[in-house]
Chain A
Amino acid sequence: MEKRRTLSVDIGSQNTRAWLFEQREEGYALVCSAVAETSAASGQDLRGGVNRALEALQEKSGLRLLDLQQKLIRAEEGVGACGLSLSAGKPIRTVLAGISDTYSLAALRRLVSLFYTDVVLEIDLQSDLNATAQLEKLIAANADLFVCAGGTNQGAIRPVRAALDNLRIVYQSLPRLIRPQLVYAGNEALTDYAREELEAGEDFHRARNIQARTDAESLAAAWPAMLGAFRRLRRQQLPGLAELEQDWECEALPSAFAASRIVRLIDRMNPGGKGAMALDVGCNSTIVLAARGEDFIGSISHPPISEQVGKETSRYSTLPIDAQTAAAYMLNKKLHQAFLPATLEDLAIEQAWTRVRLHYALRRTRELFPWFGYDPELGLLDPYEPVLLSGESLVRVPAPQQTLLMALDGLQPHGITTFAMDKDQLLAGLGSLAEKEALLPVQVIDSGVFSNLGTAICADASERSSRRVLTLEIDRGESARETLEIRKGEIKRVETTPPGPTRIYLSPNELTDVGMGFPGLGGWVTVPPSEVGTVIDARGRPLELPEEMTRRSEAFYNWLWELGG
């Protein structure tokens, strides 16, 4: 009997990745993955890059996937379901129109943050902006996407009606080549009026009210409409996408949105857990995804390159590098995005910049979602486990210890958490299949496709440097137990190698909080085998770094050495 095969492809701005899955006796498993250069520049047909990725996949797997016309072989002897995700394409120029800054506009910012948008204009319908000025601004924005919300289901309608009138003029009057898309996610009493008023046919996307009541917000209510708008825009902008969707009988998802499905799934796989988080640091953007029960947070940020970022990067460098050198590296990397660090100096800047990009992305996420437990000084206050690390800057690293230290410095977590690594950069690939093959992501995750990087035990103590803050008793199932003392300012590693899990008893001093409820409380922790091991981070929050550049880089070097990297 032929094995059931499933294909997923993610088209990024630089790379097109393809993954082939197969249903085996024990469940779905990843057969192999391949990558090729994306062909979306200058109006090229993106099927070129997809076919090259599939050819590479054929070569690796030894399976025939393409026929003589370069079409995907489907049905029993070929591929069953297909998934497609997309982050290629320019950011979508987006206008938000909401009835107030603190309610609907804030919610709209959160809504569009996962859809590769660039918000070029926000209109607060309660501001003093007159209708003429509003219309002029809407026209000047030259936007691809207009998202309008406002009012609870029994709320005000007049300002929204006036805005819809202006949106209709913008939509009908400008002979744009790429037809703009209109999403309405406001007062449901006005939905039909909005559809009739705008006369935009399939370019109008109706959503349920994201704020049906003053005390409730449901971004998910507008996700289908946003997905519809995203797809219609990208089909116009990216030649070959519509044909690919038709041939493969699937609809493209924004990559970050697809990845968010897996983060929500991981959270659901561990009910009552701390919540799941994923961080993807790439050359263009940083994605933060976090899910805990019904609560979901997701953002894509594009950190600026500025003098300040140069200074911060210099501060986190493992080699003494000044801010100007760091800024020059970052600007040159922006010019040549495929550039890879070949020297130790370049690697030091790249990894320091990754830490800074994580800080920026978490700050930005906090701005969008004020309830997100992150403090720029104190780090990630909310517990999440696991924290899944993905993206070139975190995955394409010489040693896993370096990835773990970047994540610890970038997040500055508290308590106990586990870091996993998405080496195959599978998150989006699994997410785009979740609807078609619901079991596939679960079984592939269970097969261990994400590697266990290590467990971090962060010991917060208001102690002076070098004072003992924590004692560990390590039980590896052997007769003798090891003891390890941890002092304030230190970072230490306990190897946790196969076969079995390691049990560690944490005995904090009375001022030390290891995340077990309150300071001084300890207990047994069972940690599975992992690449780096268990890392005890007693450096404190905020991370105290020496002022002098050489001493600072020595500190980073020593911390990395402690982790064995």
Chain B
Amino acid sequence: MSTEILAIACDQQILRSYTLPFTGSVLVRNGQEVEAGQPVAEIQMPERYQVFDAINGLKINPKNIDRHIERLVGEPVKAGDVIAQKSGLISRLFRASQDGMVVAIRDGRITLALGEKKLQVLATFPGTVVEIIPERGAVVAVQGLLLQGVWGNGLNSSGELTRLEPTESAAGKKQTTADLQGKIAALPHIADEAAFTALLAHKPAGLVLGSVMPELLPALAEAPLPVMVLVGYGEYEIDTLSTAMLRQMEGQMVSLNANEADASEQSRPDLILPGKAQVSPGLFHEELQLEPGRHVRLLGKPYTGSIGEIVELPAEPEKFASGLVMRAVVVRREDELIVRVPRENVELILE
């Protein structure tokens, strides 16, 4: 059974790998401080390719094609250079339109790699480089507050965190009077697209939402700013630990990394408030498992989003209301209610 780990942690070692999909150049060194948005690694790539069919383009007899091609494979070219030509009364020329290189010549087809573009991978929060991954990137670490969510739309940004009360974000009401421009706004729930659009009109730098209705998903996915969901789909309150964390972060510069959650990579979107403390290497690999005393967040109705403490892990599987026999975890919720849920239906909280 796999237990999901959810970080809602006050003084957490946060490590993130920033790597290129290709081999490239690493731009940072071990121990270096980096800022959010700073390039960690880059690779220069051709801006575009051009394939020219010299036989048909210049009307050349295929048997004589070698006579008409002026460049060799691997040779650099400048904009305007003649690559192939057919001389005569009316000469025909094929020139490079940009600086670049000849990458292939086959059957009279000339392929040029033209221009140059940089593919960079950027740090998403300020921190210290703790490991260099040769030719690919680096691992950046920071000690700070970490609040993970369950869904993100793949974007990231930084800004001052501001919390909106439920009444300020109620469906369809443009009651939000707070200045959200350039800020990361956190609010419990968005019920419909009208409320979401109204919120976007205030130009926040990012959104942290407790829960959303399923029909809003396409709009969130397409949103031009980072959006993270903390609890899930439906109408749920933000759990008390996450609420407390948001309170601590309020008014401070935070980094919202609304990465797409990937269960196979065990990666989640998160909100980070970088601290000033030194990175403490001893905390790198903490093994977490379900055990009495640990806090968990419950999944599934009617408990979705509520927090509790594990009081027992019965050894024998139990039959649940659904009729399925599963291994249970007994949890004392914050309201002192004792509940038994399947072990699969909890997120173990890293505090």
Whether the Cβ atoms of A41 and B1 lie closer than 8 Å is no
Q: How far is the CA of A174 from the CA of B43 in the complex (A)?
A: 11
Residues of B within 8 A of A328 (CB): 213-214, 232-234
Whether the Cβ atoms of A338 and B4 lie closer than 8 Å is yes
User: What is the minimal beta-carbon distance from B148 to any residue of chain A, in angstroms?
Assistant: 12
Choose among B46, B51, B342 the residue with the greatest number of A CB atoms under 10 Å from its CB.
B51
What does the 1/0 interface line of B10-51 toward A look like (CB < 8 Å)? 000000000001111000000000000000000100101111
Asked whether any CB of chain B lies closer than 8 Å to the CB of A127, the reply is no
Whether the Cβ atoms of B264 and A342 lie closer than 8 Å is no
Asked whether any CB of chain A lies closer than 8 Å to the CB of B150, the reply is yes
What does the 1/0 interface line of A318-353 toward B look like (CB < 8 Å)? 000000110110011001111111111111000000
User: What is the minimal beta-carbon distance from A183 to any residue of chain B, in angstroms?
Assistant: 21
Whether the Cβ atoms of A338 and B321 lie closer than 8 Å is no
Interface-side segment among B99-107, B156-164, B178-186: B99-107
Residues of A within 8 A of B53 (CB): 131
Q: How far is the CA of A522 from the CA of B214 in the complex (A)?
A: 50
Residues of B within 8 A of A173 (CB): 46, 103, 113
Whether the Cβ atoms of A398 and B324 lie closer than 8 Å is yes
Asked whether any CB of chain A lies closer than 8 Å to the CB of B65, the reply is no
Instruction: Give the contacting residue for B320; candidates A13, A337, A342; CB below 8 A.
Output: A342
Whether the Cβ atoms of B321 and A343 lie closer than 8 Å is yes
Whether the Cβ atoms of A131 and B24 lie closer than 8 Å is no
Residues of A within 8 A of B324 (CB): 340-342, 347, 396-398
User: What is the minimal beta-carbon distance from A143 to any residue of chain B, in angstroms?
Assistant: 12
Instruction: Give the contacting residue for A340; candidates B24, B136, B342; CB below 8 A.
Output: B342
Residues of A within 8 A of B24 (CB): 175
Whether the Cβ atoms of B300 and A335 lie closer than 8 Å is no
Instruction: Give the contacting residue for A342; candidates B106, B214, B266, B345; CB below 8 A.
Output: B345
Instruction: Give the contacting residue for A177; candidates B2, B23, B50, B302; CB below 8 A.
Output: B23
Residues of B within 8 A of A336 (CB): 4, 150, 299, 345, 347
Residues of B within 8 A of A399 (CB): 323
Residues of A within 8 A of B106 (CB): 161, 165, 197
Q: How far is the CA of A531 from the CA of B53 in the complex (A)?
A: 68
Name the CB-closest residue of A to B325: A398
Asked whether any CB of chain A lies closer than 8 Å to the CB of B288, the reply is no
Residues of A within 8 A of B104 (CB): 165, 168-169
Interface-side segment among A134-142, A360-368, A441-449, A469-477: A134-142
Residues of A within 8 A of B344 (CB): 338-340
Asked whether any CB of chain A lies closer than 8 Å to the CB of B263, the reply is yes
Q: Given contacts A331-B233, A339-B300, are A42 and B265 in contact (CB under 8 A)? A: yes
Asked whether any CB of chain B lies closer than 8 Å to the CB of A130, the reply is yes
Whether the Cβ atoms of B213 and A324 lie closer than 8 Å is yes
Name the CB-closest residue of B to A396: B324
Asked whether any CB of chain B lies closer than 8 Å to the CB of A3, the reply is no
Whether the Cβ atoms of A135 and B49 lie closer than 8 Å is yes
Asked whether any CB of chain A lies closer than 8 Å to the CB of B322, the reply is yes
Q: Given contacts A335-B151, A336-B4, are A42 and B301 in contact (CB under 8 A)? A: no
User: What is the minimal beta-carbon distance from B239 to any residue of chain A, in angstroms?
Assistant: 15
Q: How far is the CA of A89 from the CA of B111 in the complex (A)?
A: 35
Instruction: Give the contacting residue for A327; candidates B233, B261, B323, B347; CB below 8 A.
Output: B233
Asked whether any CB of chain A lies closer than 8 Å to the CB of B267, the reply is yes
Q: How far is the CA of A140 from the CA of B104 in the complex (A)?
A: 19
Residues of A within 8 A of B300 (CB): 332, 339, 341-343, 346
Asked whether any CB of chain B lies closer than 8 Å to the CB of A14, the reply is yes
User: What is the minimal beta-carbon distance from A17 to any residue of chain B, in angstroms?
Assistant: 13
Residues of A within 8 A of B342 (CB): 340, 342
Asked whether any CB of chain B lies closer than 8 Å to the CB of A118, the reply is no
Whether the Cβ atoms of A135 and B4 lie closer than 8 Å is no
Q: Given contacts A342-B342, A343-B301, are A169 and B1 in contact (CB under 8 A)? A: no
Whether the Cβ atoms of A335 and B232 lie closer than 8 Å is yes
Whether the Cβ atoms of A37 and B103 lie closer than 8 Å is no
Whether the Cβ atoms of B326 and A169 lie closer than 8 Å is no
Asked whether any CB of chain B lies closer than 8 Å to the CB of A90, the reply is yes
Instruction: Give the contacting residue for A341; candidates B49, B217, B322; CB below 8 A.
Output: B322
Name the CB-closest residue of B to A327: B214
Instruction: Give the contacting residue for B264; candidates A40, A331, A339, A344; CB below 8 A.
Output: A40
Asked whether any CB of chain A lies closer than 8 Å to the CB of B78, the reply is no
Name the CB-closest residue of B to A343: B321
Instruction: Give the contacting residue for B22; candidates A15, A175, A339; CB below 8 A.
Output: A175
Whether the Cβ atoms of A344 and B107 lie closer than 8 Å is no
Choose among A161, A397, A398 the residue with the greatest number of B CB atoms under 10 Å from its CB.
A398
Name the CB-closest residue of A to B22: A175
In the complex, chain B residues 38-72 whose Cβ is within 8 Å of any chain A Cβ: 43, 46, 48-51, 53
Asked whether any CB of chain B lies closer than 8 Å to the CB of A530, the reply is no
Whether the Cβ atoms of B2 and A338 lie closer than 8 Å is yes
Choose among B23, B48, B263 the residue with the greatest number of A CB atoms under 10 Å from its CB.
B263
Q: How far is the CA of A245 from the CA of B234 in the complex (A)?
A: 45
Can you name 24 A-B residue pairings with CB atoms under 8 Å?
Answer: A41-B263, A41-B266, A42-B267, A90-B264, A131-B51, A161-B107, A172-B103, A325-B234, A328-B233, A331-B214, A332-B300, A336-B4, A336-B347, A339-B344, A339-B345, A340-B344, A342-B320, A342-B321, A342-B326, A342-B341, A342-B345, A343-B300, A398-B324, A398-B325
Q: Name 15 extra pairs, CB < 8 A, besides A177-B22, A310-B214, A339-B300.
A: A37-B1, A37-B2, A38-B2, A41-B264, A41-B265, A161-B107, A169-B49, A173-B46, A173-B113, A335-B233, A341-B324, A343-B302, A343-B321, A343-B322, A398-B323
Q: Which 4 A-B pairs have the closest CB atoms?
A: A398-B323, A131-B51, A347-B322, A327-B214
Residues of A within 8 A of B (CB): 13-15, 37-38, 40-42, 88-90, 130-132, 134-136, 139, 142, 161-162, 165-166, 168-169, 172-177, 197, 307, 310, 324-325, 327-328, 331-332, 335-347, 396-399
